[in-house]
A and B are shown apart, each in its own frame.
Chain A
Amino acid sequence: MNEFQFFMQFLMSGLSMGSIYALVALGFVLIYKSTSILNLAQGEFLMVGAYFCLSMTLDFGLGFVASFLLTMVFSVILGLAVERLVLRPLIGEPIISVIMVTLGLTYIMRGLVIMIWGNDIRQFNIFPDQPIDFWGVKLTYLYLYSMGISFALLIFFAIFFKYARTGVFMRAVADHQTAAQSMGISVKKVFAMSWCIAAVVSSIGGILVGNIAGVGVDLSYIGLKVLPAVILGGLDSILGAIIGGLIVGVLEFLSAGYLDPYIPAINEVFPFIVLVLVLMIKPYGLFGTEEIERV
């Protein structure tokens, strides 16, 4: 394998992982933008989605497509339930409480997952294992499918926010809550919608990552790995989340390829190092709104 192929190998793997990050980051930013909550339970949504889909295929013997669709329905219900039961009572409370409540949710969801499905890592085994060869760059179907599904969804959401009625409502609420409300947009519905979309995209991300790495409780760390992507892209920019996700994925894999000989396993924390550097150099990220205040 020559130098270029080596680079391309890591670039392509990074891009496919990055597209999953982008998807999860999209959910994160959506919630932050419309409700200004840092949803630290995003990773748990992802994990629950992955477990649910896995258990549909393995324990109930449904086809992958059927269980995928069922998982989507389940995530919508989960997102709605969380918004209605936990977050709506906290409207108007200080933002710290709201963030802490998402942390409490992580405990509950992880506990329930362990209670129902146990602690072992399980495999999907749906996509064929043998890699396909693109001029010396080897990629498994899994990576290709993940990339394909993620990009399709990202394009879908781009169109959704641009043209669909609900999408425009959501952008309006994100932009200015009071103004949106006075135009007759139901802010409550938009909040519920954001949580639904966040739950759905993260469970799709969870199913994809679960296919790659196996489904275990540690999947929830993906939810935190999305933070570097979000900060890099700018906390309140949907486009930023997508580009940030891709960049972070690529950087993670390139660091595994090139820095590993010097610091073993650096790729585990490389995204977080990027996060700290971004906060030092360009704290509002690539596309985030810069807040300028002078006193």
Chain B
Amino acid sequence: MPAGLFHENYQSDERVFQTWFVKAWLIAFLIACALFPLMASKYMVSIMTEAGIAIIACHGLNVLTGFTGQISLGHAAFLGVGAYTCTILTGKAGIPFIVALPLAGVMAAMVGMIFGIPSLRLRGLYLAIATIAAQFIIEFVIRRWDSLTGGVEGLFVDPGTIGPISFDDHINLYYLTFILAVLATMAVKNIVRARSGRAFVAIRDRYLAAEVIGVHVFKYRLMSFAVSSFFAGIAGALMAQYLQVITHESFTIHQSIDYLAMCIIGGLGHILGGIYGVGFWFILERFLEVATTSLNTAFPDHMTWFVSIREIVFGCVIVLFLIFEPDGLAARWRTIRAYWKLWPFSY
């Protein structure tokens, strides 16, 4: 906590921006993000768009896993539901993009309910198992329902438009993603600050005690799963715009695990965890890409060794984070800040 900051009532304790300093930095960061496409290359802009989409998805997952303590292993499948809903609604039913976007979220939440309701009634981690089932069933439906989803061939996505703005252009899509990611962050922050968020945390920490003090466990678990799937649906709709051709291969269980891993690396149960996690993940991914190519050119005889370097490194990162830094980068950042605040007189 910054020096000289004293809270006298609950309201000030729960304020989003505790000091003007935080606010100023945040505004500076947002301006930097807004100006980013003017300076960066097309490639960088598209990477940032992808990261923005992942941030929205991770925020959703963080509400469910970080704050409510339930695991979803079918997050990518719900992204898929959102992607296909939005694309089919705009392409085949001719509904405007601005309406189809929230509908994609709603549809993902509704599909989520089918799998969530039976498992969330139960104690324990049945949701993890049910969402694995969801992942496979949804993937199967996408792959086999040729008339609607185009089957294995995939589906071409018509670029969405809002008024005169077409998301054909990558820069426009970047701004859309950016705005939605900011909105998502604000939404998560406020969900967590409000009654619902406290209920989530109570359920996560000790569900029995939560129930005793009158938290409706099933209702809030379901709510958190719905929020998480809704975010996934929105992220999926954006993903469809970004990819331009969607197939079932963009929404596999590995993708689901990746999102979960990003949340863990960033810090489960921290608002900024999703953002840190996605940042770390994307930087590491780019770095590994470069490393793999240079290794391949350096040792052309051993190409097969480096094919799976990405998987091994990410696996190790997940395991090492869980063993040595279970609260993720968010906690690490806090420790670092606390250390420098009192440096060099920390005792």
By a beta-carbon cutoff of 8 Å, the part of chain A in contact with chain B is 38, 40, 86, 89-90, 93-97, 99-101, 103-115, 118-119, 224, 227-228, 231, 263-265, 268-269, 272-273, 275-276, 279-280, 283-284, 291, 293, 295
Which secondary structure characterizes the binding site on chain B?
Answer: helix
Nearest residue, chain B, Cβ from A228:
B133
Nearest residue, chain A, Cβ from B257:
A103
Contact B125 A275 (CB under 8 A): no
On chain A, the residues within 8 Å of B134 by CB distance are: 276
By a beta-carbon cutoff of 8 Å, the part of chain B in contact with chain A is 65, 69, 71, 73, 114-115, 118-119, 121-123, 125-126, 128-130, 132-134, 136-137, 140, 144, 208, 211-212, 253, 257, 260-261, 264, 268, 304-305, 307-312, 314-319, 322-323, 326
- Once A279-B119, A283-B122 are accepted as A-B contacts, the answer to whether A100 and B260 lie under 8 Å apart by CB is yes
Contact of B212 among A101, A276, A291, A295 (CB under 8 A): A295
Contact A275 B123 (CB under 8 A): no
Report the separation of the CA atoms of residues A231 and B133 in the bound assembly, to the nearest whole angstrom: 11
Contact A276 B137 (CB under 8 A): yes
Contact A269 B315 (CB under 8 A): no
Contact A283 B126 (CB under 8 A): yes
- Once A86-B323, A114-B311 are accepted as A-B contacts, the answer to whether A104 and B128 lie under 8 Å apart by CB is no
Contact B304 A118 (CB under 8 A): yes
- Once A100-B264, A101-B319, A103-B318 are accepted as A-B contacts, the answer to whether A276 and B125 lie under 8 Å apart by CB is no
Nearest residue, chain A, Cβ from B205:
A94
Other CB < 8 Å A-B pairs besides A105-B315, A111-B309, A272-B133, 10 of them? A38-B129, A93-B326, A96-B65, A100-B261, A106-B257, A227-B129, A273-B137, A283-B118, A283-B122, A284-B122
Contact A231 B314 (CB under 8 A): no
On chain B, the residues within 8 Å of A96 by CB distance are: 65, 69, 71, 125, 268
Shortest Cβ distance from B76 into chain A, in angstroms? 13
Contact A280 B118 (CB under 8 A): yes
Report the separation of the CA atoms of residues A106 and B130 in the bound assembly, to the nearest whole angstrom: 19
Nearest residue, chain B, Cβ from A117:
B304
- Once A96-B69, A100-B261, A263-B144 are accepted as A-B contacts, the answer to whether A272 and B312 lie under 8 Å apart by CB is no
